[in-house]
Structure 1
């Protein structure tokens, strides 16, 4: 019979349990890479979730006492985060991207793409004030990139494409959550196969790009995410190569392709040394996001 956790009797307030969470999470030597980078933020996230409070609640509420049932829920979340190494967004069913909340579960990656920086800046200067009527988000997962684009370009129709039926169930839930069913659709498709001849001013993608060596050495937290959403061949570029070969057929003449390849940036440059990839300087840090115009994709098409 397991012993009763003394925290149930000795601790009472929200801030008591945040303090406890920080102590236990720090002692567990966890990896933080799914929306937070420290034990404090994760403890706050887990405790406030159980308390039914938003992340930006007035700090004065931290003196409020938790119910016995809430204490037990908090301790269980701490246990699962520590023992099972489950990323916190999966435990609470929510992640934030571009200051927007998204439902997530283990059918999709946890949103964290640095493409968020480009969305915040309206993809300037690369779109050059091009009116955006259609956007395509390839390998959409939770739909966070495409949905954020739909809110940026508030008159645009946005197609969210993924091969995973499970990911698209999550995606549709987020489309409805953000009240975008009238102009955003989720399409089950192997990349461009379901685009039906449409052309887009903007194609954006965070495809699988983790190479075999990197995947095998990733912390346990990442192995809760779908392999389909992470890996793409030995060098991580199988899907990116297909996007480069096919994208120009689906872009308007003044269209733009934006792709994240992360640490596979080095392999991509080595594979196509004469292609003029523009590597974006990201205000929030990170690397491996490139842009290419439709004209450049056509010009270098025979390289792909």
Structure 2
């Protein structure tokens, strides 16, 4: 059982940092929802709770804290350990590629290698980002990639689709936070079904792709996320197949389809090897995201 605050000899963020890292390590927590280690996650939760800059820990390490500040931090540490809740759900924020988004348990915590590709406007596969006028994001979840796409392609209108009405409520909040309501349209429905009759320069998707065997062994933190946003069937490709098979009529002749599949490259190659997808280099290597030109897709 955790000690009560009155018995904890804490007075500074340094004390709390040591305590949090020890508790996280002893509990065997899993990370990957924005932080890579117990130290990173402890620092984030402390700085967030104390309303301090998230990228500046050193100046505050030995600052004296109020009792109520210690209470607030230790309460969050307790929840992270006892409930195995991802930190992003505790703070209701996720940071992706330097930008903040609202999140809660209705959506998976944003993490996408497509986001880093959008920082360069999908170069060299998209030669003129300013010339892109229509982008589609499938399985938008919290809307983060739609927002990043709107920033990468400043002259584009973005359509974003999700099957979950709850997820779209979160996406709507993020779109409003970024002032992009006039450029991003949200659609509820199954992949391409709810869309208007139009064709896109770029289609992006970070769909459910976790295979059944991996789903069965997910750490507790990942099981807190909506199952429908993760589970991709026996080989993880159930939704991915449908995205690829139906994409061609929605792409312009020189358009591209970009799909993230995490660690499932062998399954993707088995499913789409005949299409010869292009594997894009990301910070995770060249196994997580593939691109297919419109002309190479099945009609």
TM-score, normalised by the number of residues in structure 1: 0.93
CA distance in 1, matches of 2:272, 2:155: 36
User: Secondary structure of the equivalent of 1:174?
Assistant: helix
Report how far residue 289 of structure 1 moved.
0.7
**Would you say how many aligned residue pairs link Structure 1 and Structure 2?**
298
Asked if the contact 2:279/2:286 (under 8 Å) is kept, the reply is: no
**Where in structure 1 do 4 or more consecutive aligned residues deviate above 6 Å?**
none
Distance in 2 separating the partners of 1:74 and 1:125: 45
Q: Which residue of 2 aligns with 1:280?
A: 280
| 2:103 corresponding residue in structure 1 | 104
Aligned mates of 1:239, 1:154 — CA distance in 2: 29
User: Partner of 1:71 in structure 2?
Assistant: 70
Q: 2:94 touches 2:109 (CA, 8 Å); kept in 1? A: yes
Q: Deviations over 1:100-131 (max 9, x none)?
A: 10111111111111112211221011113261
Deviation of 1:284 after TM superposition, in Å, equals 4.6
How far apart are 1:6 and its partner, in Å? Answer: 4.9
Aligned equivalent of 1:34: 33
Q: What CA distance in whole angstroms lies between the structure 1 residues aligned with 2:15 and 2:188?
A: 46
Bigger shift: 91-100 or 280-289?
A: 280-289
Unpaired runs of at least 5, structure 2: none
Contact kept? 2:256, 2:292, Cα under 8 Å: yes
Quote the Cα distance in structure 1 between the aligned partners of 2:103 and 2:286.
Answer: 22
Q: Secondary structure at the match of 1:271?
A: helix
Offset, 1:3: 5.7
Question: In angstroms, what is the RMSD of aligned CA positions?
Answer: 1.8
Displacement, 1:286?
A: 6.9
The equivalent of 1:80 in structure 2 is 79
Scaled by the length of structure 2, what TM-score is found? Answer: 0.94
Deviation at 1:233, TM superposition (A): 1.7
Is residue 243 from structure 1 mapped to residue 222 from structure 2 by the alignment?
A: no
Distance between the aligned counterparts of 1:252 and 1:7, measured in 2?
65
Residue 264 of structure 1 corresponds to which residue in structure 2?
264
Cα distance, 1:45 vs. partner?
A: 1.0
Given the superposition, is the C-alpha separation of residues 269 and 120 from structure 1 closer, same or farther in structure 2, using an over 3 Å criterion?
same
